[in-house]
Amino acid sequence: MKRLETAFVTLNGWALIAMLSAMALIVGTNITLRYTTSHSLPWADEAARYLMIWMTFGGAGLVLRTGGHVAITNLQDALPATGQKIMRAAIVLGLLVFFGFMVQVGYQYAQRMQYQVTPALRLPFLYVYAAMPVGFSLLILHLLLIARPFITAGSYKRLDDAEGGTATLPGGANG
């Protein structure tokens, strides 16, 4: 299971690197062409925008794994250890419900937009709006993979998880 999780996280990271590289290449080429030939690629801004959308939704799960999203822990810190675990379990459950709802809404929205095409690239908007259900599905997977250590100890996976370490929430026990 650990190997599968590592492969999943690595694949997710490489997909983000590929999208960021493509975006940098497209924007860099467009800038170079604009200043050297006084012409630019008519689709470059649109492609960069859609890559940014996909990176945002695709990277949210990796950020969730490391505790990088905004968290206000005042109430949790005021609770005893058992109360903190119950609160973290409720947070995980609430997030799973919300993420599942957003997968459904994103899927429905993408389906409604499948016959409209983007202005410059002439791609069906389905491919742009598919970032939402795909991204929230990734969030669900990442959350399920970190739920147990988060609930029991208030810890997240570290970026350098090769040593098996965890980062602890403020006020959370590490163990």
For tokens 């609930």, the residue is: 151
**Structure confidence at residue 69 (pLDDT):** 87
**Structure confidence at residue 160 (pLDDT):** 56
Q: Which domain holds residue 121?
A: 2-162
Is residue 172 included in any domain, yes or no? no
> Within a 10 A sphere around the Cβ of 26, how many other Cβ atoms?
18
Is residue 57 included in any domain, yes or no? yes
Which strand (E) or helix (H) includes residue 144? helix 131-153
Task: Count up the domains in the chain and report the number.
Answer: 1
Q: Is the pLDDT of residue 134 over 60?
A: yes
Is residue 149 included in any domain, yes or no? yes
Indicate the pTM of the whole model: 0.86
Is residue 71 included in any domain, yes or no? yes
Q: Is the pLDDT of residue 165 over 80?
A: no
Is residue 155 included in any domain, yes or no? yes
Is residue 119 included in any domain, yes or no? yes
122 near 44, Cβ under 8 Å?
Answer: no
**Structure confidence at residue 151 (pLDDT):** 92
- The amino acid at residue 87 is M
Per-residue confidence band for 67, with pLDDT thresholds at 50, 70 and 90 = confident
> 116: Cβ–Cβ under 8 A, 6 or more apart, which residues?
124, 125
